[in-house]
Structure 1
């Protein structure tokens, strides 16, 4: 199982739609990646220094995040980068643990 360390610039004017889709369960229901993507995006962090969202996501696509980008990510983020293609999930989350949650940091848009 591959884990990807991802960073991306949120489209702030679109985040309320993403939040609605997450809360409704629509993203979680996407097959085959919805459950992993919903968990990752719900726990995403925000790096105020770079203005980017960061998260760790389970992914099996080649190229990385191919299906996720088409179905969800490209609608809500730009400059999507897989920083590390095969990361230990716990280590990846620890790396960004001190950052505020994306949804806490951007509540006025989400």
Structure 2
């Protein structure tokens, strides 16, 4: 499996819609990437130093996140794949001390 370490600036006014789509299962139902994207976005963190959401995304596209961007570009700006082939556990460990994105989303 390929995992990408991702950073992106949330479009604050769009986060409630993203939350609704995650909760309703709309994104999870998207084939082939919906389940992995939902898991990643549910676990996403917020970096208060940069104002970015950060997460590890399972992805097999070339270029990275090619299919996922049809969703991600609606909710995030300046999306950057920081590391294309990160170990999933190590990637999440890098950001485990940051606050969860969804805990911070209401105050953004």
Same structural fold, with TM-score higher than 0.5 when normalized by the shorter chain? yes
Query: Could you tell me the TM-score, scaled by structure 1's length?
Result: 0.96
Question: Following TM superposition, by how much is the alpha carbon of 1:106 offset from its aligned partner in structure 2, in angstroms?
Answer: 1.5
Query: Could you tell me the TM-score, scaled by structure 2's length?
Result: 0.98
Cα RMSD over matched residues? 0.8
Runs of 4+ in 1 over 4 A off after TM superposition: none
Matched, 1:92 2:80: no
In structure 1, list runs of 5 or more residues that go unmatched. Answer: none
Give the total of aligned pairs: 108
**Equivalents in 1 of 2:12, 2:42: separation in Å?**
16
**Once the two structures are superposed, what CA deviation does each residue of 1:39-74 show, in whole Å capped at 9, x if it has no partner?**
00010000011000000010000100010002x100
